Chain A
Amino acid sequence: MSYKQIRLWKDRWSANLFLWLCLFFIFIVVLIGVGLLIKSAPIWKEQSIVHLIFSKEWKPFQGKFGFLAYISGSLLVTFLAVIIGLPISLMSAVYISEYAPGRVRSILLPLIDLLSGIPPIVYGVWGVLTIVPLVGQVLAPRFGAVSSGYSALTGGIVLAVMIFPLLIRILLDVFEAVPAGLKDASLSLGANQWETVKHVLLKRSAPGIIAATILALSRALGETIAVLMVCGNIAVLPRSIFDSVYPLPALIANNYGDMLSIPQYDAALMLAAFILFVLIFLCNALSRMVLNRLERRDYA
């Protein structure tokens, strides 16, 4: 082979190989979904999915696997996290993008990156050390409730801090996609900066803010270790935010591998993983498509 043929051969083969790796990884998504579905088959073949989701009876020894308590626990914690995390992140992102001088910005952004690099287990330890006593001894008594401190609210607060960096990063991207000309137009009509933020920036970014929220929601929904450490893990329907809850990921993490002797137990846990996967897959796909479109709108 001549030198040139070798070059062209390398080019062609690398192209083929790389393409197949790409396709393989697209295939992995399918594989994860199908794998979890197959492994959970024993349970959804015997009991209806609707029944599994809406029953609150969880008695593995009797073959009763009602996920309602876990699902409602997950939803409550996630909901709290977003309720707490979104306004704070939104205001902070507006500050960083519109108000903060360059130097302040260049200090804040690395700090936020540090926050996103802290491992979930450390968030969990922090939650146990700080937030559990805060909720148990300060917040709950103030609202006339009795709480061990291991509660839905504790999980919500810890998760809110965990989703700060994700929310802020995405919101900053979303704000950046708003054309500067639009803001200038508002300012030159005599609107002050806050009015410009309110009427132009936030309005124009609304789809992006919603997409970011959904993304943060799905992150919170899937978080495992930190939540598991602070939520108390009691599988009953929560009646207040000071009650202990048992989110789905915690259920999987606590029991998988140990309870395989009970029939259908592992299938039930795989079903839990499958439900998580599908929910989060849909949330992610939807919000990423919205965000991608937003980004492209102004580059095109």
Chain B
Amino acid sequence: MSQQSSTIGSEVTWSAEGAAVNTADANAAGSAGAYPGASEPPHLSVRNLHVHVGGNHILKNINIDIPNKGITSFIGPSGCGKTTLLKTLNRLLDRQKGVVVKGAVLVDGVNIYDKEVEVTDMRKKMGLLSQRPFPLPMSIFDNIAYGPRIHGIKKKKQLEEIVEYYLRATHLWEEVKDRLNQSAAALSIGQQQRLCLARGLAVEPEIILGDEPTSALDPVSTQRIEELFLQLKDKYTLILVTHILRQARRLSDTIVFLYMGEIIEYGPAEDVLLHPREKLTQEYVKGFIS
């Protein structure tokens, strides 16, 4: 397992054609090679995780295995810790003062909270979409090229191919191909969010984290993003935080229901949403608590 993790991040092997096919393949080759078939272990699991922020016990004894591929949604009333949980998955949380994380988050079997783990490699495996889109302060082209560039791709031609590929993948290409050198801040907010998604995909992650990624968008843009998620879920593991139950229903394969920092119930979407076992889940799904 640790062998596996070191091969994914260390050498970036890019090629012009590779850009077109790599993401799915890298993924498949990495895990399916070692563990063929249905017994494939999860990329991402959480073990006995406790998080304290400023003395408050925010997450209590979290244990989950996130299934590979497909969409996993964290749902629960506001303040239940779902965003905190998401941010512990790629260690964005512990940049803040007063955060204490106990337990383990295993990515390909390696605990990312181990001291020896190279954080940048681990983060590269996980793309992030925040609540509001935050394009980098540069042009549209540079926004996508930023990731590949910092990971060592310098050739102009290769970068151009990558940018086009991911802009197409997020259905932005036709809208922006004539103004790639303009500021990304000039795009509409829905376009910005798709740009942010493309930017994340360009570093070839295996997992995409979405922190209520449609909460700032209008219904049309929301729909486009949701369509994208459904297309991407065959290649990537998507983990979404959402407070919209209908969205979770539309998209999710797996549902994790959190309440007051604890996982109350998790499993396949139909089971949790239609036949919840726990009383709290029932009440939440019916809309009694929110």
Contact = CB atoms under 8 A, between A and B. Distances in A.
Nearest to A4: B10
Nearest to B154: A3
B147 to A, nearest CB: 13
B268 interface: no
A206 B48 CA distance: 48
B152 interface: yes
Contacts of A4: 9-10, 151-152
B121 to A, nearest CB: 8
A82 to B, nearest CB: 37
Nearest to A7: B150
A4 to B, nearest CB: 7
A8 interface: yes
A3 B152 contact: yes
Interface in A1-23: 2-4, 7-8
Nearest to A300: B54
Contacts, number: 12
A8 B152 contact: no
Contacts of B270: none
Interface string A166-192: 000000000000000000000000000
Interface in B126-169: 150-152
Interface in B103-129: 118, 120
Contacts of B152: 3-4
Contacts of A8: 118, 120
A253 B11 CA distance: 63
A24 B120 CA distance: 29
Contacts of A2: 10-11
Interface residues of B, number: 8
A263 to B, nearest CB: 53
A7 B120 CA distance: 10
A170 B55 CA distance: 32
A209 to B, nearest CB: 29
Interface in B7-23: 9-11
Contacts of A7: 120, 150
A16 B151 CA distance: 22
A2 B118 CA distance: 15
A296 to B, nearest CB: 12
A4 B151 CA distance: 7
B55 to A, nearest CB: 13
Contacts of B151: 3-4
B92 to A, nearest CB: 17
Interface string B16-48: 000000000000000000000000000000000
A2 B9 CA distance: 13
A96 B9 CA distance: 55
A2 B10 CA distance: 9
Contacts of B120: 7-8
Contacts of A3: 151-152
A3 B10 CA distance: 9
A52 B79 CA distance: 63
A7 B10 CA distance: 12
A2, A3, A7 pick with most chain B CB within 10 angstroms: A3
A244 B29 CA distance: 87
A6 to B, nearest CB: 9
Contacts of B118: 8
A2 to B, nearest CB: 8
A7 to B, nearest CB: 7
Contacts of B11: 2
A3 B152 CA distance: 7
B111 to A, nearest CB: 20
A144 to B, nearest CB: 62
A3 B118 CA distance: 14
A8 B152 CA distance: 13
A8 B10 CA distance: 12
A139 to B, nearest CB: 54
Nearest to B152: A3
A209 B150 CA distance: 48
Contacts of B150: 7
Nearest to A11: B120
B287 to A, nearest CB: 29
Contacts of B9: 4
B109 to A, nearest CB: 21
12 contacts: A2-B10, A2-B11, A3-B151, A3-B152, A4-B9, A4-B10, A4-B151, A4-B152, A7-B120, A7-B150, A8-B118, A8-B120
The 5 closest A-B pairs by CB, nearest first: A3-B152, A4-B10, A7-B150, A8-B118, A4-B152
Given A4-B151, A7-B120, 8 more contacts: A2-B10, A3-B151, A3-B152, A4-B9, A4-B10, A7-B150, A8-B118, A8-B120
